[in-house]
Amino acid sequence: MTAVDESIVGSVLALCTQTPGARRGAGPMSWRSELRRLKRSGFSRVDLLDNWLPFVNLTASEVDDLGSILVDLGLTAPCLGTSRRSLIDPEFGEENLEYTLKILEVAHRLGLRRVGVGFHPALVDAQRQSAQFWEHAGRADDRTEENWDVAARRVAVVCDAAAELEIDLNIELYEDSLLCTSEDVARLMAAVDRPNFGVNPDLGNLVRSVTPLRESWLDTLRGCLPHMTYWHLKNYTRSTLAPGGPFAVAPTALGDGTIDYRLAVTEALAAGYSGPMVVEHYGGDALWMQERSAEYLRRLVDELRNDEREEQ
């Protein structure tokens, strides 16, 4: 296995039910079967997300079963992530904080050193009823000083609890949330000010928004580079149908969409980023699309590193 392969991670998003009416199993036999599909698709590392398994509801024995399955399949997990458990949710923020602290315990039992969080809001009714949730605008975060204070305080609580378990925390950018621009990133990083806290610049989350973008994806990435410790990569085409919208958005493989990942990866590597690069995809045969995107990424990273060696 090459260093390039070790940096590329498959996502359990591809194992989640994405088609209404589809069925999926539950329990260790099902987990093994699903994770084996990722392994057959060429991934030796897997990004675990709680929209695949309700980790905090598993017994200690079930968590141990999952860990054994990963070992048996030759898979490693660089991170355990949460989804739509916003620490600043106006109704469930405190509950989500307790949930996140429990996720830390699960990650620790699995022997993981990273946990991912975000300010992703719960889906609104229109999003839940749509085949593709991003076709409708979600709830935007309150950007008051009070909410910024709540965000910094609760993230700091999670960072401190994570530090006791020797876990690093990364926070993912998300459309129309309190964390969706380079300025937001700088502000939150300064307010939290913890050595085990970093950023996951998921640019696809921003580009797919049906609301106007607050800044270009490249400006967002450049603002994240000094704080970047984890990276979700997915792509979409984005077309403006009229000034100010509406916008037509569709998921693509990494090399086909609006985000120029050749430029994005070039700038990230030049800035010294050497952490995991997680390929994600929504819609259709997501596993095949992740496999296609991973091959693009392997070739791109290998090419860029060869160019760097030749220039030295």
**Domain for residue 235, yes or no?**
yes
**Structure pTM?**
0.95
Question: By residue range, what is the domain housing residue 78?
Answer: 7-14+26-311
Looking up residue 180, the CATH number of its domain turns out to be 3.20.20.150
Distance CA 64, CA 76 (A): 14
Task: State residue 21's pLDDT score.
Answer: 46
| Total number of domains constituting the chain | 1
Task: State residue 193's pLDDT score.
Answer: 98
- Yes or no: say if 119 and 151 are a contact pair by the CB < 8 Å rule: yes
**Domain for residue 70, yes or no?**
yes
**Domain for residue 1, yes or no?**
no
Kindly report the number of other CB atoms within 10 A of residue 54's CB atom. Answer: 9
Sign of CA dihedral 120, 282, 52, 24: positive
Task: State residue 19's pLDDT score.
Answer: 47
**Domain for residue 20, yes or no?**
no
Contacts of 14 (CB under 8 A, 6+ apart): 37, 38, 41, 281, 286, 287, 289, 290
Tokens 């699309």 identify what position?
289
In DSSP terms, 249 is beta-bridged to 238
Tokens 């307010």 identify what position?
191
Residues, the chain = 312
**Domain for residue 19, yes or no?**
no
Task: State residue 131's pLDDT score.
Answer: 83
- Yes or no: say if 227 and 185 are a contact pair by the CB < 8 Å rule: yes
pLDDT along the chain (312 residues), means of 10: 71 76 69 94 96 94 97 98 97 98 98 98 93 90 98 98 98 97 98 98 96 95 98 95 85 96 97 97 93 96 85 72
